[in-house]
Amino acid sequence: MSGTVSFGSARSGSRYERNEDKCGKRNGYLVEYFYKAENDQAAAAEELEFPDHSFDVVTACQCFWYFNHELLEPKLFRMLKPGGSLLVLYMSWLPFEDEIAGASEALVLKYNPEWSGGGETMHPIEIPDCYSEGFELIYHEEYRVSVPFTRESWNGRLKACRGIGASLTEKEIAAWEQEHRKLLDQIAPPEFPVLHYGAMAELRKREAGRKA
């Protein structure tokens, strides 16, 4: 594979620097932009301007629904090589199938009733209609998976969700965390699995070009 570009990738180490000019609220959520040092390029997905046919694969992990797809789709079509793929990945806990996940999610909603990230069920990734102009869905898969946690790591996972860490004040986060830790002491053993589901969808760039 001679080229890939990823959206929503993990950031670690000193190679990434925070772009203070771009950080701020977007659609009601805190968004932080980072760029890579050593002259590597990073930007909002809709602002990427790589040359035509730069990549074999573009991946979007845990971020696809935040994009302006009407702007992004033609750019992805242009930047991908003929026969290139867009791979969309997603993972979420299942609150209606896992008791601990359900109780924790209910507490998130208690502190942030406007949070839209709850109530997940296993389903295929939804692909906006505009992608049919330049891509075809060639594969999708959904599957259940148990993810191991401790009380500490599960508390951290929930605290990091946009319903808490990206939305509440420091005082509200502290109150939620105090109540969540107490809840976990009551309902969860020191180590436990949480049922999640994973989903993927592969879209292949149309060989014949974009639909008229």
For the chain, give every domain's residue range: 4-205
Whether domain 4-205 has CATH 3.40.50: yes
Q: Is the pLDDT of residue 80 over 70?
A: yes
Indicate the pTM of the whole model. Answer: 0.77
Determine the 3-state secondary structure of 62 from DSSP. coil
What's residue 200's pLDDT?
98
What is the rounded average pLDDT of the residues 8-22?
43
Gap between the Cα atoms of 146 and 149, Å rounded: 10
Residue 48: C-alpha distances to residues 8, 76, 95, 163, 190 (Å): 14, 9, 36, 28, 44
Q: Which two tokens stand for residue 76?
A: 């992805």
Cβ atoms of 199 and 125 within 8 Å: the answer is yes
What's residue 11's pLDDT?
35
Where residue 47 falls among pLDDT bands split at 50, 70, 90? confident
> Pick the residue with more confidence: 141 or 10?
141
